[in-house]
Amino acid sequence: MPTMQSTPYRWPWNGLFDMRDFALVVTSAMVANQDSGRITQNGRNQVRDFANTVRQAGALVVEVACSDPRITGVPWRTNDKFALSAGERFTDADIHIQSCGIDAFYSSPLEDVLNRSHRRLIGLCGTWFETSVHSTMREANDRGMECVAFHDISFCLNPQSKKNTISQIEMSGGIFGAVSTSTDFSKTFCNC
Partner 1 sequence: MLQQVQANPYNWPFDGEIDPSKTALMLIDWQADFCGPNGYVDAMGYDISLTRAGIEPTKRVLAAARKLGMKIIFTREGHRPDLSDLPANKRWRSKQIGAEIGSEGPLGRILVRGEKGWDIIPELAPMPGEVIIDKPGKGSFYATDLDIILRVAGITHLIFTGITTDVCVHTTMREANDRGYECLILSDCTGATDKGNHEAALKMVTMQGGVFGAVSDSESLLKVLEN
Find the part of the chain contacting partner 1 (CB under 8 A) among 5-13, 38-46, 53-61, 90-98.
5-13
| Complex with partner 1: residue 74 or 192, whichever CB lies closer | 74
Q: Does 41 bind partner 1 (CB under 8 A)?
A: no
| Complex with partner 1: residue 1 or 13, whichever CB lies closer | 13
Given a contact cutoff of 8 angstroms between Cβ atoms, the answer to whether 64 and 99 are in contact is: yes
Among 106, 109, 183, 190, binds partner 1 (CB under 8 A): 106
Q: Does 191 bind partner 1 (CB under 8 A)?
A: no
12 preceded by a cis bond (ω within 30 of 0): yes
| Complex with partner 1: residue 46 or 120, whichever CB lies closer | 120
Q: Give the x-and-dash track for 132-161 against partner 1 (CB under 8 A).
A: --xx--xx-xxxx-x----------xx--x
User: Minimum distance from CB of 67 to partner 1 (Å)?
Assistant: 9
Given a contact cutoff of 8 angstroms between Cβ atoms, the answer to whether 126 and 108 are in contact is: no
Q: Does 167 bind partner 1 (CB under 8 A)?
A: yes
| Complex with partner 1: residue 50 or 129, whichever CB lies closer | 129
Among 39, 59, 62, 102, binds partner 1 (CB under 8 A): 102
Among 3, 19, 32, 52, binds partner 1 (CB under 8 A): 32
Q: Does 115 bind partner 1 (CB under 8 A)?
A: no
Number of residues that bind partner 1 (CB under 8 A): 47
DSSP per residue over the chain, as a string? -PPBP-BSSPBSTTS---GGGEEEEEEE--EEGGGTTSS-HHHHHHHHHHHHHHHHTT-EEEEEE---TTTSSS--S--GGG-EEPPPP----SEEEE-SSSSTTTTSSHHHHHHHTT--EEEEEEE-IIIIIHHHHHHHHHTT-EEEEEEEEEE-SSGGGHHHHHHHHHHHHHSS-EEE-HHHHHHHHS--
Q: Does 116 bind partner 1 (CB under 8 A)?
A: no
CA-to-CA distance for 4 and 13, rounded, in angstroms?
10
Among 76, 85, 88, 92, binds partner 1 (CB under 8 A): 76
